[in-house]
Amino acid sequence: MKDMIDLRSDTVTKPSAGMLDFMMNAGVGDMVFGEDPAVNELEAMAADMFGMEAALYCPSGTMTNQIAINVHTRPGDEVICSHMAHIYLFEGGGVAFNSGASVALIQSENGTFNAEDVRQHINNPDDPHKAYTRLVEIENTVNRGAGACWDFKELVRIRELCDQRHLGYHLDGARLFNALVKDGMKPEEYGTLFDSISICLSKGLGAPVGSLLIGNRDFIRQGARVRKLFGGAMRQAGYIAAAGIYALKNNVERLADDHRNAAAIAEALKQNSLTEKVNYGGTNIVIFTLRPGMKASDYLEKIRARGILALKTGERSIRMVTHLDVSDAQIREACDILATL
């Protein structure tokens, strides 16, 4: 049976033969006791990569984000973020449930905003009627913004504002390496900017599981306590941590291939008479809107019959994501189908 061209998400990737071999040869120990050598190596590797003091290995990016929010805030505080933010849309209401905090949403076209937008959403700390603004959260790249990347100079301006107003600054970097590869930047440039950074290993980097929270030693010490509270402390986790080591060593630069393939899909979709609008942020995500009268569910059935899987994001909108498990040949085939459907 012919393999489906699975463009639903970069989370569908499976470990390569090289990654599996590396995992099976990992040294392991009790992670909670601090004795798992692969976990320790991965955490040290990530911290060093970003020029930060320490890192914390966790099962998922949702957990690393939620731990960060919990450490940064107190119940009743407010977090400033985009209305497209993953922490707002796709983490089960965790900001409220896990930390007792609320969100102040900044509206924008692609999930990015500027320092003045942030300034306008900071509450007066002396007004007891308002939630206390405690944290600014950034997502780079922006999932719902079709993989849009932030202007680094704007991130610096927001950092300066956070310093002025004594606010924490957290980066949801689930796809940060896509942004780094696209913009030709180094991880440590982000490490000097943010108080905490979450990176995901199981999307474009191809690991089967795992994310890392990175920050200073005291922040990570507090985070480890919250990880335990959230049920994220594991025992012989070295086998899966080894996948993260392999991913960081081998699968970062190749993200440029995914970006090239996504650009090709975006161009093919523009030729399709059923497409009204194509949003492409320059990385590995394409979100497109169908013409009025065409339902996303119907379109998905059409392309499934031709061997392509994608994800519905609205009544007329669909997302396609490229990744390491989709070959160049499959991309060419998908483009031929999508351009002429």
Q: How confident is the model over 225-250, as pLDDT tens digits?
A: 999 999 999 999 999 999 999 999 99
Kindly tell me if the per-residue pLDDT of 2 is higher than 90: no
In this structure, CATH architecture of domain 254-340: Alpha-Beta Complex (3.90)
CB atoms within 10 A of CB 44: 12
Q: Average the pLDDT over 251-262 and give the result.
A: 98
CA–CA distance from 67 to each of 71, 205, 256, 275 (Å)?
6, 22, 30, 40
Taking the C-alpha atoms of residue 191 and residue 240, their distance in angstroms, rounded to an integer, is: 24
| Angle 296-298-303 from CA coordinates, rounded to 5° | 90
Strand bridging mode 275-280 / 285-290: antiparallel
The model's pLDDT over 136-191, given as tens digits with 9 standing for 90+, comes to: 999 999 999 999 999 999 999 999 999 999 999 999 999 999 999 999 999 999 99
Rounded mean pLDDT of the chain? 97
Percentage of the chain exceeding pLDDT 70: 100
Show me where the domains of the chain are located: 17-250, 254-340
Q: How confident is the model at residue 63 (pLDDT cuts 50, 70, 90)?
A: very high
Q: How confident is the model at residue 330 (pLDDT cuts 50, 70, 90)?
A: very high
Question: Does the fold of domain 254-340 match that of domain 17-250?
Answer: no
Domain 17-250 CATH class label: alpha beta
At 289, is the secondary structure helix, strand, or coil?
strand
At 330, is the secondary structure helix, strand, or coil?
helix
Q: Average the pLDDT over 20-30 and give the result.
A: 97
